[in-house]
């Protein structure tokens, strides 16, 4: 077990190493951590440092101290309901990732907007008008992936795909850092995440001698959350070659930024070995829990069968509202306006940060900026002292280094200079919180 941990390190670093092993499934519920003095000797640190690391893991609910029985890894509970973030009075919320409501199409109902109600149970769940909008948009993106199906949000579509393709205990490649609900979903399905680092060209491929092998890979083609990176044409082509050589590996493409992206869509898969998922929530409404999926026919058939024995279909009324909002957004140029507004906010902050720190930030898009720091706790404290609530990177990370995520959707121009100056201080801080 000692081989899991690097030599030396602070209590925070040791706790993060152990936390990563728990997240990845290398340490399972019921496993015992080494005795404090034993691990301290192996790492060449003071026993108090290891004891402090174990205390941090205990406080985080990852382990329990059983006295002479040792320190044991706990089963991680699944959240029954999402924790509602409480923003202290007087602080600016840059942690939630909420969208700018002014950039969403406004749903206005008139006497002419009477949505027919479905009065039977033996009809298709997919509204043809919505599927046609998706098909037309994908054609504009240069993608041809076959018939479109409607599901209750991106996470629902991904869950159904994984249920149909992956057996419990299998491994799935994911981006590192990645969207935290995805890690929760994998744990719920008893699947093991295998981290793949994200760089300026998007998600890297597995090492040639990677073991174990993933039965699936989940990729973000544009505006990856939290880094903002997109798959380059070259990297997408390498993924296509990899998948052609690894026929048992399914690619699930989560294009959550979709119509808000200014980058071309470089698909890492084909309709034969991949599933493309487009969520409507980012460009129409977070409350519109609808996603469209297309790709591997046999997989879509299995996903529809799963849907039939569960929720049956997505409400036709919701689908009709989605058609109305999407059509309105296209007609009034709202998507282009949102594209430009979000990109301007991100670029302006990145440019100012580079001027202050001297370190260039990778070009990206979306509403998030991922900033590496020495200590997430210290950086978060510094920002909080200055009136900013930012998101620590720990929930997003498997093996990648510490960072903070700053969400810019609701940033106003007057805040830009102060935010950049405060972030420069937080990034440059050498403090480490033990």
Query: pLDDT tens for residues 95-122?
Result: 988 899 999 998 877 656 666 666 665 5
* Token code pair at residue 351: 């440019």
Residue carrying structure tokens 């979000």 = 342
The residue ranking higher by pLDDT, 29 or 198, is 198
- Answer yes or no: is pLDDT of 77 > 70: no
Mean pLDDT of 230-237: 97
Q: Break the chain into its structural domains and give their ranges.
A: 2-73, 92-102+335-428, 124-331
Burial class, 387, CB count within 10 angstroms (exposed 0-12 / middle 13-18 / buried 19+) = middle
Task: Assign domain 2-73 to a CATH class.
Answer: mainly alpha
Query: pLDDT tens for residues 340-357?
Result: 999 999 999 999 999 998
Candidate from 4-13, 249-258, 339-348, 351-360 with smallest mean pLDDT: 4-13
* Strand 171-176 relative to strand 216-219, pairing: parallel
* Strand 171-176 relative to strand 192-199, pairing: parallel
Task: Assign domain 124-331 to a CATH class.
Answer: alpha beta
The fold of the 92-102+335-428 domain, in CATH, is: 3.90.1150
Q: What is the DSSP string of 93-153?
A: E-SS----GGGSPP----TT--PPPP--SSS-SS-HHHHHHHHHHHHHTT-----EEEESS
How far is Cα 359 from Cα 347, in angstroms, rounded to an integer? 14
- pTM score of the predicted model: 0.82
How far is Cα 89 from Cα 293, in angstroms, rounded to an integer? 41
pLDDT at site 434: 37
Residue carrying structure tokens 């869950």 = 159
The residue ranking higher by pLDDT, 426 or 77, is 426
pLDDT at site 80: 45
Query: pLDDT tens for residues 346-388?
Result: 999 999 999 998 888 888 999 999 999 998 989 999 999 999 9
């Amino acid at each position: 077990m000692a081989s899991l941990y690097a030599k030396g390190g602070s209590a925070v670093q040791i706790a993060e190493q152990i936390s990563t092993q728990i997240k990845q499934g290398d340490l399972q519920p019921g496993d015992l951590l080494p005795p404090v003095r034993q691990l301290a000797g192996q790492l060449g640190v003071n026993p108090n440092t290891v004891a402090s690391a174990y205390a941090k893991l205990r406080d985080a609910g990852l382990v329990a101290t059983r006295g002479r029985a040792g320190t044991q890894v706990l089963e991680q509970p699944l959240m029954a309901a999402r924790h509602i973030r409480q923003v202290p009075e007087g602080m600016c919320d840059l942690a939630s990732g909420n969208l700018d409501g002014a950039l969403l199409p406004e749903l206005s109902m008139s006497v002419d907007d009477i949505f027919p109600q479905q009065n039977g149970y033996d009809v298709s769940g997919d509204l043809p008008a919505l599927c046609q909008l998706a098909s037309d948009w994908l054609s504009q993106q240069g993608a041809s992936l076959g018939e479109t199906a409607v599901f209750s949000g991106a996470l629902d579509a991904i869950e159904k795909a994984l249920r149909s393709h992956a057996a419990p205990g299998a491994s799935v490649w994911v981006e590192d850092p990645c969207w935290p609900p995805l890690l929760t979903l994998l744990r719920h399905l008893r699947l093991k995440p295998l981290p793949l680092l994200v760089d300026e060209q998007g998600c890297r491929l597995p090492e040639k001698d990677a073991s174990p092998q993933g039965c699936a890979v989940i990729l973000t083609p544009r505006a990856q959350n939290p880094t903002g990176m997109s798959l380059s044409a070259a990297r997408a082509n390498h993924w296509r070659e990899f998948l052609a050589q690894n026929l048992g590996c399914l690619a699930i493409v989560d294009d959550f930024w979709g119509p808000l992206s200014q980058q071309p869509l470089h698909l890492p898969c084909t309709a034969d070995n991949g599933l493309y998922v487009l969520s409507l929530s980012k460009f129409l409404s977070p409350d519109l829990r609808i996603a469209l999926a297309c790709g591997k026919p046999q997989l879509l058939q299995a996903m529809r069968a799963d849907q039939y024995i569960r929720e049956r279909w997505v409400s036709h009324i919701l689908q009709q509202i989605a058609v109305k909002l999407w059509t309105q957004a296209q007609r009034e140029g709202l998507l282009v306006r949102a594209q430009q507004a979000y990109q301007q906010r991100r670029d302006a902050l990145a440019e100012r940060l580079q001027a202050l720190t001297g370190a260039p930030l990778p070009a990206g898009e979306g509403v998030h900026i991922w900033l590496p720091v020495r200590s997430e706790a210290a950086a978060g404290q510094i920002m909080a002292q200055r009136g900013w609530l930012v998101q620590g990177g720990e929930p997003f990370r498997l093996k990648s280094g510490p960072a903070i995520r700053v969400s810019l959707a609701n940033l106003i121009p007057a805040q830009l200079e102060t935010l950049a100056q405060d972030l420069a201080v937080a990034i440059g801080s050498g403090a480490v919180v033990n």
